Amino acid sequence: MKILLIEDEKRMSAAVSELLRQEGYSVDVADEGLGGYDAILKNSYDAVICDVMLPGMNGFEIVSAARAEGVSSPIIMLTAKSDITDKVTGLDCGADDYLTKPFQIEELLARLRALIRRNAKETDGLLTAFDLNLNTKSLNLICTSTNKEIRLPEKEFKIMEYLISNKGQIVSKEQLALKVWGYNNEAEYNNVEVYISFTRKKLKFLGAKTEIKSIRGMGYELRG
């Protein structure tokens, strides 16, 4: 697996790249925006980790320009700000996920694994978790243990897509709100619980063993 890390903080870049190599990844490193963008266009990466604040070309510009050129590699953005605007801007530019500095390397590795798995599955339009298959082209959710399926409405599809892509991880209500609605509207944010309830009813209809578990004070986790 080949990863590109675009990060201008030398100490962080050295530490993260070394840990990635210890996990078995091949890592290319760029310490400024233009060099990182050039590397994305010239090479094929299984994933890209890109800081927002970079000299020459910022992370938003890199992601937006790379997507315009047809680059489909999963991209995680690193931001030093907890401002919701930065997160939304990154996702709107085409990033797949984000982490706010400082972060735990274990979380970065888990998100990286999830994005790489999702990207591999999306080549045939199918995401899988436990006894569920989610067809990203037809929006059908299929239970393999009962052979039943149902077509999901858009918001419930996005919820299942995100949960399946991040199986084994707890995802926050904020992350789901950003994924489904794309902005921090208070009414929509509160509706996450409502749409989780709708999605659980779909799982019950299918007779699935997979459940959406509420983790008190943290968010939700998909469990088989």
Distance separating alpha carbons of residues 173 and 216, to the nearest angstrom: 11
Domains 2-119 and 124-223 share a fold: no
- pLDDT category at 189 given cuts 50, 70, 90 is low
162 vs 6, 8, 13, 118, 125, CA distance in Å? 25, 30, 28, 10, 14
Candidates 2.102.10.10, 3.30.360.10, 1.10.3720.10, 1.10.10.10; CATH matching 124-223: 1.10.10.10
Among 25, 21, 26, 48, residue whose Cα is nearest residue 37: 48
Q: Can you give the pLDDT at residue 140?
A: 94
Give the count of alpha carbons within 13 A of 158, CB side only. Answer: 12
| Residue with the larger pLDDT of the pair 79 and 18 | 18
> Residue 55: what are its φ and ψ, rounded to 5°?
-75, 145
198 vs 147, 157, 193, CA distance in Å? 20, 11, 9
Bond prior to 102 in cis (omega within 30° of 0): yes
Question: 14: how many CB neighbours lie within 10 A of its CB?
Answer: 13
Q: Can you give the pLDDT at residue 38?
A: 94
Question: 95: how many CB neighbours lie within 10 A of its CB?
Answer: 25
Q: What is the pTM of this model?
A: 0.58
Rounded (5°) CA angle 20-21-23: 65
Q: Where are the domains of the chain?
A: 2-119, 124-223
Residues 27, 31, 37, 41: what is their CA dihedral angle, to the nearest 10 degrees?
-30
- Name the packing angle between helices 84-93 and 173-181 (round to 10°): 40
Among 110, 92, 49, residue whose Cα is nearest residue 183: 92
- Three-state SS for 22? helix
- Residue range 107-156, pLDDT digits in tens: 999 989 888 877 765 556 788 889 999 998 889 999 999 999 999 999 99
- What amino acid occupies position 131? D
Q: What homologous superfamily is domain 2-119 in, according to CATH?
A: Response regulator (3.40.50.2300)
- Residue range 17-75, pLDDT digits in tens: 999 998 888 899 999 999 999 999 988 888 999 999 999 999 999 999 999 988 888 99
